[in-house]
């Protein structure tokens, strides 16, 4: 059911924990499944130096958080903002369709953490894409 990469990032998650005095913090949850992700960023000159996460959820949610933090470290804010849920799922060698919402939570949590940083540094938050009318997320999860 799950790829070896999903199992590896679930059993040996990277970047678990918090960052002391984070520059940006984002939290997102999915009420239908109970998954909650919180992400912490350390940013310098608009480059993400470090990213850590705390996730309460299933294996796919933990793996998505782990992979997403790996993918944004060392990236500019703009590059990290562009990371899509599809890219996270592909980096994990796929997620079952019923678990794609986990990669969506990772994307949305990154957006919230970046916007928190922007607001803390006196800048306007970046716009969020319109939410899907079917499932409420900015996603390709439901195919709408």
List active site positions. Answer: 33, 102
CA atoms of 74 and 125, how far apart (whole Å): 21
HSE at residue 73, side-chain half, CA atoms within 13 A, is 14
> Per DSSP, what are the bridge partners of residue 16?
53
Please enumerate in sequence order all residues whose Cβ is within 8 A of that of 83, keeping only pairs 6 or more positions apart, or say none: 68, 71, 72, 75, 107, 110
Q: Where are the beta strands (DSSP E) in the chain?
A: 24-29, 36-44, 47-56
């Amino acid at each position: 059911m799950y790829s070896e990469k999903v199992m590896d990032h679930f059993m040996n998650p990277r970047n678990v924990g918090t960052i002391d005095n984070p520059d940006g913090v984002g939290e997102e949850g999915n009420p239908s499944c109970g998954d909650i992700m919180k992400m912490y960023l350390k940013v310098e000159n608009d480059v993400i130096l470090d990213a850590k996460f705390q996730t309460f959820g299933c294996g796919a949610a933990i793996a998505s958080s782990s992979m997403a933090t790996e993918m944004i470290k060392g990236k500019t804010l703009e590059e990290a903002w562009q990371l899509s849920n599809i890219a996270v799922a592909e980096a994990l060698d796929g997620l079952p369709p019923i678990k794609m919402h986990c990669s969506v939570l990772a994307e949305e949590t990154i957006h919230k953490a970046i916007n928190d940083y922007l607001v803390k540094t006196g800048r306007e938050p970046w716009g969020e894409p319109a939410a899907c009318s079917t499932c409420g997320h900015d996603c390709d999860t439901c195919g709408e």
